[in-house]
Structure 1
């Protein structure tokens, strides 16, 4: 009994002390401490695996100290020399500047190569690694950040900014301009991930095809938050990968572009195409924008899931999505859901799959950003006109992000009044 009363008195004293302490603190300052920097988050994906948001991964990478500094006045002055000296697990930091005629072959594992400050520029200047590319990558796990590649030329006209031949490669916040191929992969790699990067200005060589990004028969390809423009005869993006995740990109050829397909999966496979803006120029070399299966099936599973994309055709006519059923020769599941089309063109209903929520509008019904009609007006009658697209096998089809200029994404939370297209 006495112990119970004593305990209550002790508790009352503690409460009084906390209240008086908080009151005293309030007199000193009525401001909350600053919120910590947002470093991203860990989420569980629809497949049950834990996934780090990009911001978290970038923050962790930025904290890793460099083990080799490259640039004029440094102990290692050239990129070519750095590639020869690098060891597994190193962090290679390249100072800002123009690096002319310094091709490199990276064969190491667990390597991070990053540009510091203003993006350093690798200019081919008539030289290449193994007559293939400015950089050849055939190590294990490699990450390349904040580097620009320009002017790759080789004898067989497929000189790449990066030739990726083995392992897994992540490319983030990089740029590829005026290369015969921006990135070109061999067929052995396991994973190519391209994030928040820019590709453009294909060379104007008549009779040759220069794809801005060409992925071979690899296991998995992820393209997110990246921008493509000003192609010529070749495609903006071509992928033969078994599994493709094309998320929140800006694949718009632009007024001066003359690309063929904007997005192609010639051998089928699994393709998730979500939240992209895909635009064909008036001078296109091919009236079809998205092509699937034109060269026959290669993989045992074949499905195209396209949801909440905005497809813009500036040509007088065309086809927004072409599925080459007769050339695939195998059944292919095709879902076309909540896509928004602008301009003249056809979107045929697939032979097998789902077709729902696709709408067509005129340019005047969209708000322009950077000269591209992207977002429906606030008073659009299409607000609330479509239903959530649900899930495809292994993938949520409702966008949780959207593209931002010049490259990258931002997180979004779609409202209950859902609209078709890439921007809510």
Structure 2
């Protein structure tokens, strides 16, 4: 049922007065549109169609099957309440693209679960981004052909934080957990991206990338988790370069991976529209493949990558780039962690990494490269305090 927009959820202040011969009116206040059983709107898509710019749409916990549509309005906040609503595409797709096609700008989506996005072209997305500026928080996107897929929009900033992405990908290597096209900026922080199905756990063509305090990993064969085990290619793929900060992440590649490199940068060429500076700072890399591996693969970059305070555990070459600057990193074939089998990847006490890091010089433009947080499972972060005289090597301080 669609309610009259003058109902109690929208308080309209409208008055007119004559000031120097002109009428002055105050615009309507934002509404809260409620979705769910017994609410004003039975499904999210019905609320999206009725919304006006600035509205808050609250979706009650429950399952919404086949509720696919385009979101045309801008400046909306869409939030799950009283549980996390499950949006199951159930064999349907909006505009032959995916579950929710975000055409409007300045959209924020918070606390939803989305699954089942599939289209004949094999690139169906739970969230297909076509507007300018988008934020996704506290959500779980799994078992889609793409979790998030964006187009080209260099005016757009995409922020993905505190989300879980798992088992997305058709299986042909062209679809991924997250695939960000040529946007202006990507901020990817405090996320858990794992088990991409043949594709990458994160792929970004953004001109400027901040990838900080995330966990990239996959289940081992036979293990159970929030999704089935996957067989990803790269953990992080930045194929066209751009200014990229990879800071404070846990990056763990399974033995059964589709590519021996863990981070790939610039492999498809770096255009004249972007920089080629890469900063890899205070990450913990773990390679479970005992026969092959490159932790940071760099191609076509005009400048050397800066690798500072990283912990590399397992077999492999730190980087193939001969011009890379490597400062106070540490590599071990089998470093000791609190409980690697249970994915507690905090380091055991070790004089080899405790107080062994250095303070990285700021990046161009004065951007600080200091690790200010650490990843906390599940899809969260915690402040990182230096516990000794210097920062420890890796994504965590030794406690």
The TM-score normalised by the length of structure 2 is 0.85
> Aligned runs of 1:314-333 on 2, under 5 Å?
314-316=288-290, 317-325=292-300, 331-333=302-304
Partners of 2:309 and 2:335 lie apart in 1 by 20
Give 1:414 deviation, angstroms: 1.6
Q: Determine if the alignment matches structure 1 residue 341 to structure 2 residue 312.
A: yes
Q: Indicate the SS of the match to 2:130.
A: strand
Q: Indicate the SS of the match to 2:46.
A: helix
Aligned partner of 1:190 in structure 2 is 156
Aligned partner of 2:74 in structure 1 is 109
Q: Indicate the SS of the match to 1:395.
A: coil
RMSD over equivalenced CA pairs, Å: 1.8
Q: Determine if the alignment matches structure 1 residue 81 to structure 2 residue 46.
A: yes
Aligned in 2, Cα 1:65/1:371: closer, same or farther, shift over 3 Å? farther
Aligned in 2, Cα 1:270/1:65: closer, same or farther, shift over 3 Å? same
Residue deviations 1:334-356, cap 9 Å, x none? 10111101110101364445211
Greater fraction of residues in helix: 1
Counterpart among 389, 400, 407 of residue 379 in structure 2: 407
Aligned partner of 2:186 in structure 1 is 221
Partners of 1:304 and 1:208 lie apart in 2 by 24
Aligned in 2, Cα 1:142/1:355: closer, same or farther, shift over 3 Å? same
Counterpart among 85, 100, 104 of residue 120 in structure 1: 85
Q: Is the 8 A contact 2:88 2:115 kept in 1?
A: yes
Q: Is the 8 A contact 1:363 1:373 kept in 2?
A: no
Q: Is the 8 A contact 2:202 2:236 kept in 1?
A: yes
Q: Determine if the alignment matches structure 1 residue 376 to structure 2 residue 347.
A: yes
> Aligned runs of 1:341-360 on 2, under 5 Å?
341-348=312-319, 350-360=321-331
Gaps of 5+ in 2: 1-28, 221-228
Q: Determine if the alignment matches structure 1 residue 387 to structure 2 residue 358.
A: yes
Partners of 1:207 and 1:191 lie apart in 2 by 28
Residue deviations 1:369-409, cap 9 Å, x none? 67225222234432112212232124211111111111111
Q: Indicate the SS of the match to 2:317.
A: coil
Q: Which has the larger radius of gyration?
A: 1
Number of residues of Structure 1 aligned to a counterpart in Structure 2: 356
Q: Is the 8 A contact 1:254 1:280 kept in 2?
A: no
Gaps of 5+ in 1: 1-63
Q: Is the 8 A contact 1:184 1:216 kept in 2?
A: yes
Aligned partner of 1:132 in structure 2 is 97
> Aligned runs of 1:65-76 on 2, under 5 Å?
67-76=32-41
Q: Indicate the SS of the match to 1:80.
A: helix
Q: Determine if the alignment matches structure 1 residue 271 to structure 2 residue 244.
A: yes
Partners of 1:385 and 1:206 lie apart in 2 by 42
